[in-house]
Structure 1
Amino acid sequence: MVRRLSERERIEILIMIDYGYRARTQLEFCRLFNNKYPNREPITRSTVSKIAQKFLKVGHARDQPRRLQENPHLPTRQVAANNGIVQSSVLKYLKLYKWHPYKVVLVQELNEDDLDL
C-alpha cells in the first residue's frame, strides 16, 4: 500500500522545487527528494506535478476531504477499498448520516406453479 505524503512533506516539495522560480525540473526534484528520504517510497514526477497544480488551484498543500462513492449497492468493504479508507470509517459516515448498511437476502423463490393473487 502506498503511503500518502504528509502535509509537511508536500510543503517541503513546494519549497524544494523553488516553486516561484521553477529553477529545477521535476525529474531533478524527484531525485533530490528521494535521496533525502531513502526510507519512504520514491515519489514520481506526476506526484510533484499534482502537488504543484493543487497548490495553484486551492492555495495550500492539505488533503481535501474525500467523497465516498455514491453507489448504494456496494458492500462497505468495497466502498472502503475504493476510497482508500478503512471499513470502520465508512461505517462511521453511515452512522453520522443515519444510513444503515444492509444485505439483501432472498429467502423464498417464486415458481411458475405459485398462485397469482
Structure 2
Amino acid sequence: MSLSDTQRIEIVILLGCGDKTRKQKQVCEIFNSKYPDRRISQSTVNRIENKFREFGNVTDIPKSGRKRILDDEQKLDVLLDIQVNPHKPTRQVAADNDVNLQAMVLSGLRLFAKRLRDT
C-alpha cells in the first residue's frame, strides 16, 4: 500500500530544512511510531527526499501504459442504468451512457447485466 500525499509531505516536513534537519533513520522512527500500522523503511524516506529535492514535489508521476477503460463515474452510471432496467439490451445501455460496448464487456459490466436479467 502506497503512502498518501499527506504522509509523504509529513515525511519531508519531518526531515526539516536548514539547521533543523533530522537524519532519515530518525524520520523513519518518528513516522513508524505515529503510524504503527503503516511502517516505512529508511529507503522509503530516502526515495521521498530525493524525489522532493529533484522535482520539488512528492506526488507520484503518472504511470505509463494503457489507461482505464471506464472511469468510476462511467461504471456507476452504467450500473445504475442496469439496476433501474435490467431487461434493457446491453447495446442500448452502452449507447444511453455514451460508453463503448467493448469497454463494457472488458469491464465485466455486460456479465453483470446478464446476471441481473436472469434473476
With structure 2 as the length reference, what TM-score do the two structures score? Answer: 0.52
Distance (Å, rounded) in 2 between the aligned partners of 1:43 and 1:59: 21
Residue pairs, 1:85-104, within 5 angstroms: 92=69
Gaps of 5+ in 1: 69-88, 94-100, 102-117
Distance (Å, rounded) in 2 between the aligned partners of 1:52 and 1:34: 17
Cα shift at 1:20: 4.0
Gaps of 5+ in 2: 71-105, 107-119
Identical-pair percentage? 38
Give the counterpart of 2:7 among 6, 9, 34: 9
Cα shift at 1:57: 1.2
Q: CA RMSD in A?
A: 2.3
Cα distance 1:43–1:59, how it changes in 2: closer, same or farther (>3 A)?
Answer: same
Structure possessing the higher relative contact order (Cα contacts under 8 Å, 6 or more residues apart): 2
Question: One-letter code of the match for 1:63?
Answer: D
With structure 1 as the length reference, what TM-score do the two structures score? Answer: 0.53
Aligned length: 71
Q: Post-superposition, which runs of at least 4 consecutive aligned residues in structure 1 deviate over 3 A?
A: 19-22
Give the counterpart of 1:27 among 25, 28, 31: 25
Distance (Å, rounded) in 2 between the aligned partners of 1:67 and 1:22: 38
Greater percentage in helix: 2
Cα shift at 1:23: 2.2
